[in-house]
Structure 1
Amino acid sequence: MNNPTGTTSGPERQLLEYMLDYTRAELIDTVRGLSEAEARRRLVPSMTTSIGLVKHAAFAERKWFQHILGGLPESECDGAMVGEDSFVVSDDETVADVIAEFERAGNRARTIAADIELDAIRQHPACGTVSLRWIYLLLIQEFARHAGHSDILREQTEATRRT
Protein backbone atom coordinates (compact mmCIF):
# COMPACT_ATOMS: atom_id res chain seq x y z
CA MET A 1 0.00 0.00 0.00
CA ASN A 2 3.01 2.32 0.21
CA ASN A 3 2.83 3.11 -3.50
CA PRO A 4 0.12 5.70 -4.27
CA THR A 5 0.69 5.17 -7.97
CA GLY A 6 -0.72 1.63 -7.78
CA THR A 7 -4.13 2.88 -8.89
CA THR A 8 -3.93 5.97 -11.07
CA SER A 9 -6.85 5.51 -13.40
CA GLY A 10 -10.25 3.97 -13.35
CA PRO A 11 -13.71 4.82 -12.17
CA GLU A 12 -13.98 7.72 -9.73
CA ARG A 13 -15.27 5.57 -6.89
CA GLN A 14 -12.40 3.11 -7.25
CA LEU A 15 -9.90 5.99 -7.09
CA LEU A 16 -11.56 7.58 -4.06
CA GLU A 17 -11.73 4.29 -2.18
CA TYR A 18 -8.14 3.46 -3.08
CA MET A 19 -6.86 6.84 -1.85
CA LEU A 20 -8.88 6.58 1.36
CA ASP A 21 -7.43 3.13 2.02
CA TYR A 22 -3.98 4.45 1.14
CA THR A 23 -4.21 7.31 3.66
CA ARG A 24 -5.58 4.93 6.30
CA ALA A 25 -2.56 2.67 5.80
CA GLU A 26 -0.14 5.61 5.83
CA LEU A 27 -1.52 6.80 9.17
CA ILE A 28 -1.21 3.31 10.67
CA ASP A 29 2.35 3.00 9.34
CA THR A 30 3.40 6.08 11.33
CA VAL A 31 2.76 4.28 14.63
CA ARG A 32 3.74 0.70 13.82
CA GLY A 33 6.99 -0.18 15.54
CA LEU A 34 6.82 2.63 18.10
CA SER A 35 6.95 1.61 21.74
CA GLU A 36 3.95 2.41 23.90
CA ALA A 37 5.87 5.30 25.47
CA GLU A 38 7.02 6.64 22.11
CA ALA A 39 3.50 6.56 20.67
CA ARG A 40 2.24 8.59 23.66
CA ARG A 41 5.11 11.07 23.77
CA ARG A 42 4.04 14.69 23.46
CA LEU A 43 6.54 16.50 21.27
CA VAL A 44 4.42 19.58 20.50
CA PRO A 45 2.65 22.02 22.84
CA SER A 46 -0.78 20.53 22.08
CA MET A 47 -2.02 17.16 23.31
CA THR A 48 -1.21 15.64 19.89
CA THR A 49 0.48 12.23 19.98
CA SER A 50 0.96 9.60 17.32
CA ILE A 51 -1.40 7.17 19.03
CA GLY A 52 -3.91 9.97 19.62
CA LEU A 53 -4.02 10.78 15.90
CA VAL A 54 -4.98 7.18 15.09
CA LYS A 55 -7.57 7.19 17.90
CA HIS A 56 -9.08 10.39 16.46
CA ALA A 57 -9.16 8.86 12.97
CA ALA A 58 -11.20 5.93 14.32
CA PHE A 59 -13.66 8.44 15.76
CA ALA A 60 -13.84 10.24 12.39
CA GLU A 61 -14.62 6.94 10.63
CA ARG A 62 -17.45 6.25 13.06
CA LYS A 63 -18.82 9.80 12.94
CA TRP A 64 -18.90 10.10 9.16
CA PHE A 65 -19.70 6.57 8.05
CA GLN A 66 -21.68 5.00 10.90
CA HIS A 67 -23.50 8.06 12.20
CA ILE A 68 -23.86 10.45 9.26
CA LEU A 69 -23.85 8.12 6.24
CA GLY A 70 -25.33 5.04 7.90
CA GLY A 71 -27.79 6.97 10.05
CA LEU A 72 -26.94 5.12 13.26
CA PRO A 73 -27.61 6.94 16.51
CA GLU A 74 -24.32 7.79 18.23
CA SER A 75 -25.20 5.32 21.00
CA GLU A 76 -25.13 2.48 18.43
CA CYS A 77 -21.77 3.39 16.91
CA ASP A 78 -18.78 1.14 17.61
CA GLY A 79 -16.97 3.41 20.04
CA ALA A 80 -16.68 6.79 21.67
CA MET A 81 -18.46 9.60 19.83
CA VAL A 82 -17.21 12.62 21.78
CA GLY A 83 -15.20 14.69 19.31
CA GLU A 84 -13.30 16.89 21.73
CA ASP A 85 -11.95 13.83 23.54
CA SER A 86 -11.30 11.80 20.40
CA PHE A 87 -7.51 12.22 20.69
CA VAL A 88 -7.47 10.85 24.26
CA VAL A 89 -6.09 7.33 24.67
CA SER A 90 -6.62 5.61 28.01
CA ASP A 91 -3.70 4.09 29.86
CA ASP A 92 -5.03 0.59 29.31
CA GLU A 93 -5.18 0.93 25.50
CA THR A 94 -2.14 -0.21 23.55
CA VAL A 95 -0.88 0.86 20.14
CA ALA A 96 -2.17 -2.47 18.81
CA ASP A 97 -5.59 -1.83 20.40
CA VAL A 98 -5.90 1.60 18.80
CA ILE A 99 -4.76 0.35 15.39
CA ALA A 100 -7.32 -2.48 15.63
CA GLU A 101 -10.04 0.02 16.58
CA PHE A 102 -9.18 2.15 13.53
CA GLU A 103 -9.10 -0.89 11.25
CA ARG A 104 -12.49 -2.10 12.56
CA ALA A 105 -13.96 1.35 11.96
CA GLY A 106 -12.53 1.38 8.43
CA ASN A 107 -13.92 -2.07 7.69
CA ARG A 108 -17.35 -1.02 8.91
CA ALA A 109 -17.12 2.18 6.85
CA ARG A 110 -16.44 0.13 3.72
CA THR A 111 -19.45 -2.09 4.45
CA ILE A 112 -21.77 0.88 5.05
CA ALA A 113 -20.61 2.76 1.94
CA ALA A 114 -20.58 -0.25 -0.40
CA ASP A 115 -24.15 0.09 -1.66
CA ILE A 116 -24.45 3.89 -1.45
CA GLU A 117 -24.00 6.04 -4.54
CA LEU A 118 -21.34 8.77 -4.52
CA ASP A 119 -24.01 11.43 -5.02
CA ALA A 120 -26.22 10.14 -2.18
CA ILE A 121 -26.71 12.92 0.34
CA ARG A 122 -27.05 13.03 4.07
CA GLN A 123 -27.52 15.83 6.58
CA HIS A 124 -24.77 16.85 8.96
CA PRO A 125 -25.79 19.15 11.82
CA ALA A 126 -22.93 21.61 11.21
CA CYS A 127 -21.97 21.07 7.55
CA GLY A 128 -25.46 20.77 6.08
CA THR A 129 -25.97 18.55 3.06
CA VAL A 130 -23.02 16.24 2.31
CA SER A 131 -22.55 13.51 -0.28
CA LEU A 132 -20.64 10.27 0.05
CA ARG A 133 -18.15 11.73 -2.47
CA TRP A 134 -17.60 14.70 -0.12
CA ILE A 135 -17.15 12.36 2.88
CA TYR A 136 -14.52 10.38 0.97
CA LEU A 137 -12.66 13.58 0.05
CA LEU A 138 -12.89 14.96 3.59
CA LEU A 139 -11.47 11.82 5.17
CA ILE A 140 -8.73 11.44 2.56
CA GLN A 141 -7.67 14.99 3.37
CA GLU A 142 -7.97 14.51 7.13
CA PHE A 143 -6.11 11.20 7.27
CA ALA A 144 -3.36 12.49 4.97
CA ARG A 145 -2.91 15.56 7.18
CA HIS A 146 -2.80 13.44 10.33
CA ALA A 147 -0.37 10.98 8.74
CA GLY A 148 1.89 13.96 8.01
CA HIS A 149 1.62 15.14 11.60
CA SER A 150 2.37 11.67 12.93
CA ASP A 151 5.23 11.19 10.47
CA ILE A 152 6.91 14.31 11.86
CA LEU A 153 6.36 13.08 15.43
CA ARG A 154 7.90 9.74 14.47
CA GLU A 155 10.88 11.47 12.87
CA GLN A 156 11.41 13.44 16.08
CA THR A 157 11.11 10.25 18.14
CA GLU A 158 13.58 8.35 15.99
CA ALA A 159 16.05 11.25 16.19
CA THR A 160 15.99 11.02 20.01
CA ARG A 161 16.79 7.29 19.79
CA ARG A 162 20.06 8.09 18.01
CA THR A 163 21.24 10.67 20.51
Structure 2
Amino acid sequence: MTDDHRTTALRTADERATLASFLDYQRDTLALKCAGLTADQLRTRALEPSGLSLLGLVRHLAEVERSWFRNVLGNEGRPGFWKHPDGSFAEFDTDTADPDEAFTVWRRECDHARELVAAADSLDVLGHYGEEVYSLRWILTHMIEEYARHNGHADLLREHLDGTTGE
Protein backbone atom coordinates (compact mmCIF):
# COMPACT_ATOMS: atom_id res chain seq x y z
CA MET A 1 0.00 0.00 0.00
CA THR A 2 1.01 3.61 -0.36
CA ASP A 3 2.12 5.90 2.43
CA ASP A 4 -0.29 6.28 5.30
CA HIS A 5 -1.74 9.81 5.20
CA ARG A 6 -4.83 9.15 7.30
CA THR A 7 -6.42 11.79 9.49
CA THR A 8 -5.28 11.50 13.09
CA ALA A 9 -8.11 10.79 15.49
CA LEU A 10 -8.08 13.62 18.02
CA ARG A 11 -7.40 12.65 21.63
CA THR A 12 -8.22 15.83 23.54
CA ALA A 13 -10.83 17.66 21.47
CA ASP A 14 -14.50 18.27 22.14
CA GLU A 15 -17.03 15.57 21.30
CA ARG A 16 -17.91 16.78 17.79
CA ALA A 17 -14.29 17.16 16.70
CA THR A 18 -13.40 13.79 18.22
CA LEU A 19 -16.24 11.96 16.47
CA ALA A 20 -15.59 13.75 13.17
CA SER A 21 -11.88 12.92 13.31
CA PHE A 22 -12.58 9.24 14.04
CA LEU A 23 -14.97 9.14 11.09
CA ASP A 24 -12.40 10.80 8.82
CA TYR A 25 -9.79 8.28 10.00
CA GLN A 26 -12.14 5.45 8.97
CA ARG A 27 -12.86 7.12 5.61
CA ASP A 28 -9.13 7.52 5.01
CA THR A 29 -8.61 3.87 5.92
CA LEU A 30 -10.98 2.78 3.16
CA ALA A 31 -9.14 4.98 0.65
CA LEU A 32 -5.81 3.53 1.83
CA LYS A 33 -7.06 -0.05 1.35
CA CYS A 34 -7.96 0.81 -2.26
CA ALA A 35 -4.84 2.80 -3.11
CA GLY A 36 -2.59 1.59 -5.89
CA LEU A 37 -4.94 -1.06 -7.29
CA THR A 38 -6.11 -1.37 -10.87
CA ALA A 39 -9.75 -1.05 -11.87
CA ASP A 40 -9.92 -4.82 -12.32
CA GLN A 41 -8.49 -5.44 -8.86
CA LEU A 42 -10.97 -3.01 -7.33
CA ARG A 43 -13.82 -4.91 -9.05
CA THR A 44 -12.55 -8.35 -8.04
CA ARG A 45 -14.78 -10.39 -5.76
CA ALA A 46 -11.86 -11.89 -3.94
CA LEU A 47 -13.60 -14.09 -1.40
CA GLU A 48 -16.14 -16.43 -3.01
CA PRO A 49 -19.01 -16.92 -2.59
CA SER A 50 -19.26 -13.35 -1.31
CA GLY A 51 -20.11 -10.61 -3.81
CA LEU A 52 -17.95 -8.10 -1.95
CA SER A 53 -15.28 -6.16 -3.76
CA LEU A 54 -13.34 -3.08 -2.73
CA LEU A 55 -15.16 -1.08 -5.40
CA GLY A 56 -18.48 -2.38 -4.11
CA LEU A 57 -17.55 -1.20 -0.62
CA VAL A 58 -16.69 2.28 -1.93
CA ARG A 59 -20.02 2.46 -3.78
CA HIS A 60 -21.90 1.12 -0.75
CA LEU A 61 -20.32 3.67 1.57
CA ALA A 62 -21.14 6.48 -0.88
CA GLU A 63 -24.78 5.35 -0.60
CA VAL A 64 -24.53 5.17 3.20
CA GLU A 65 -23.01 8.67 3.40
CA ARG A 66 -25.78 10.03 1.18
CA SER A 67 -28.52 8.25 3.09
CA TRP A 68 -27.50 9.27 6.61
CA PHE A 69 -26.21 12.76 5.99
CA ARG A 70 -28.15 14.15 3.02
CA ASN A 71 -31.40 12.30 3.55
CA VAL A 72 -31.72 11.65 7.28
CA LEU A 73 -29.85 14.64 8.70
CA GLY A 74 -30.34 17.10 5.83
CA ASN A 75 -33.83 15.95 4.80
CA GLU A 76 -32.85 16.23 1.11
CA GLY A 77 -34.73 13.17 -0.14
CA ARG A 78 -32.06 12.23 -2.69
CA PRO A 79 -32.33 8.88 -4.52
CA GLY A 80 -29.53 6.32 -4.45
CA PHE A 81 -26.82 6.33 -7.08
CA TRP A 82 -26.76 2.72 -8.17
CA LYS A 83 -30.10 0.94 -8.53
CA HIS A 84 -31.44 -2.06 -10.39
CA PRO A 85 -34.49 -1.47 -12.61
CA ASP A 86 -36.65 -2.94 -9.83
CA GLY A 87 -35.39 -0.25 -7.42
CA SER A 88 -33.12 -2.49 -5.33
CA PHE A 89 -29.60 -1.38 -4.55
CA ALA A 90 -26.90 -2.27 -7.07
CA GLU A 91 -23.78 -0.84 -5.46
CA PHE A 92 -22.15 -4.26 -5.17
CA ASP A 93 -22.68 -5.06 -8.88
CA THR A 94 -19.29 -3.87 -10.06
CA ASP A 95 -18.43 -5.96 -13.13
CA THR A 96 -18.57 -2.90 -15.39
CA ALA A 97 -18.51 -0.18 -12.73
CA ASP A 98 -16.23 2.81 -13.17
CA PRO A 99 -13.86 3.23 -10.20
CA ASP A 100 -13.23 6.92 -10.98
CA GLU A 101 -16.96 7.62 -10.88
CA ALA A 102 -17.37 5.69 -7.62
CA PHE A 103 -14.52 7.50 -5.87
CA THR A 104 -15.73 10.87 -7.14
CA VAL A 105 -19.24 10.23 -5.82
CA TRP A 106 -17.94 8.86 -2.51
CA ARG A 107 -15.59 11.83 -1.95
CA ARG A 108 -18.36 14.30 -2.86
CA GLU A 109 -20.70 12.68 -0.34
CA CYS A 110 -18.01 12.69 2.36
CA ASP A 111 -17.33 16.39 1.71
CA HIS A 112 -21.03 17.22 1.91
CA ALA A 113 -21.35 15.25 5.13
CA ARG A 114 -18.46 17.21 6.65
CA GLU A 115 -20.21 20.46 5.70
CA LEU A 116 -23.45 19.34 7.36
CA VAL A 117 -21.63 18.27 10.51
CA ALA A 118 -19.72 21.56 10.71
CA ALA A 119 -22.89 23.60 10.17
CA ALA A 120 -24.95 21.81 12.84
CA ASP A 121 -25.63 23.81 15.99
CA SER A 122 -24.86 20.81 18.18
CA LEU A 123 -24.64 17.04 18.23
CA ASP A 124 -28.25 17.09 19.43
CA VAL A 125 -29.52 18.25 16.02
CA LEU A 126 -32.10 15.72 14.84
CA GLY A 127 -32.63 13.96 11.55
CA HIS A 128 -35.57 11.82 10.51
CA TYR A 129 -36.12 8.62 8.60
CA GLY A 130 -39.85 8.05 8.42
CA GLU A 131 -41.05 8.00 12.01
CA GLU A 132 -37.57 7.32 13.39
CA VAL A 133 -35.53 10.18 14.88
CA TYR A 134 -31.72 10.23 15.10
CA SER A 135 -29.34 12.74 16.68
CA LEU A 136 -26.23 13.85 14.84
CA ARG A 137 -24.29 12.21 17.69
CA TRP A 138 -25.95 8.87 16.89
CA ILE A 139 -25.37 9.27 13.14
CA LEU A 140 -21.65 10.00 13.59
CA THR A 141 -21.24 7.07 15.96
CA HIS A 142 -23.12 4.78 13.59
CA MET A 143 -21.00 5.91 10.63
CA ILE A 144 -17.79 5.14 12.53
CA GLU A 145 -19.19 1.66 13.23
CA GLU A 146 -20.26 1.23 9.59
CA TYR A 147 -16.83 2.13 8.24
CA ALA A 148 -14.96 0.08 10.85
CA ARG A 149 -16.97 -3.03 9.96
CA HIS A 150 -16.46 -2.56 6.23
CA ASN A 151 -12.78 -1.69 6.66
CA GLY A 152 -12.40 -5.13 8.22
CA HIS A 153 -13.84 -6.54 5.00
CA ALA A 154 -11.47 -4.32 3.03
CA ASP A 155 -8.49 -5.73 4.98
CA LEU A 156 -9.39 -9.26 3.91
CA LEU A 157 -10.10 -8.29 0.31
CA ARG A 158 -6.83 -6.40 -0.05
CA GLU A 159 -4.79 -9.17 1.51
CA HIS A 160 -6.35 -11.69 -0.87
CA LEU A 161 -5.68 -9.46 -3.89
CA ASP A 162 -2.00 -8.71 -3.38
CA GLY A 163 -0.92 -9.91 0.04
CA THR A 164 -0.89 -6.42 1.51
CA THR A 165 -1.76 -6.33 5.18
CA GLY A 166 -1.82 -3.60 7.74
CA GLU A 167 -4.03 -1.39 9.80
| TM-score computed with the length of structure 2 as normaliser | 0.83
| Counterpart position of 1:125 | 130
Q: 8 Å contact 2:72–2:129 — kept in the other structure?
A: yes
Inter-partner Cα distance in structure 2 for 1:3 and 1:110: 14
Identical-pair percentage? 32
Q: 8 Å contact 2:19–2:141 — kept in the other structure?
A: yes
Structure having the higher helix fraction is 1
Inter-partner Cα distance in structure 2 for 1:46 and 1:119: 38
- C-alpha RMSD of matched pairs (Å): 2.2
Aligned to 2:127, what secondary structure does the other structure show? Answer: strand
Which amino acid counterpart does residue 61 of structure 2 have in structure 1? Answer: A
Which amino acid counterpart does residue 92 of structure 2 have in structure 1? Answer: F
Aligned to 1:7, what secondary structure does the other structure show? Answer: coil
Inter-partner Cα distance in structure 2 for 1:16 and 1:73: 25
2:16 is the counterpart of 1:8: no
Inter-partner Cα distance in structure 1 for 2:11 and 2:128: 31
Stretches of structure 2 that go unaligned for 5 or more consecutive residues are: none
| TM-score computed with the length of structure 1 as normaliser | 0.84
2:114 is the counterpart of 1:110: yes
Q: Bigger relative contact order, structure 1 or 2, given CA contacts below 8 A and separation 6+? A: 1
Which amino acid counterpart does residue 65 of structure 1 have in structure 2? Answer: F
Q: CA deviation at 1:92?
A: 4.8
Aligned to 1:99, what secondary structure does the other structure show? Answer: helix
**In structure 2, do the counterparts of structure 1 residues 110 and 156 end up closer, same or farther at CA, with 3 Å as the change threshold?**
same
| Counterpart position of 1:98 | 102
Which consecutive aligned stretches of 4+ in structure 1 deviate over 4 angstroms post-superposition? 80-83
Aligned residue-pair number: 155
Of 160, 163, 166, 1:159 maps to 163
Q: 8 Å contact 1:42–1:49 — kept in the other structure?
A: yes
Inter-partner Cα distance in structure 2 for 1:56 and 1:85: 9
| Counterpart position of 1:24 | 27
Inter-partner Cα distance in structure 2 for 1:43 and 1:92: 16
Inter-partner Cα distance in structure 2 for 1:40 and 1:92: 8
Of 84, 91, 102, 1:86 maps to 91
Q: CA deviation at 1:83?
A: 6.4
Which amino acid counterpart does residue 86 of structure 1 have in structure 2? Answer: E
| Counterpart position of 1:134 | 138
The one-character-per-residue Cα deviations of 1:106-132 (angstroms, maximum 9, x if unpaired) are 001111222212011122237x22100
Inter-partner Cα distance in structure 2 for 1:134 and 1:115: 16
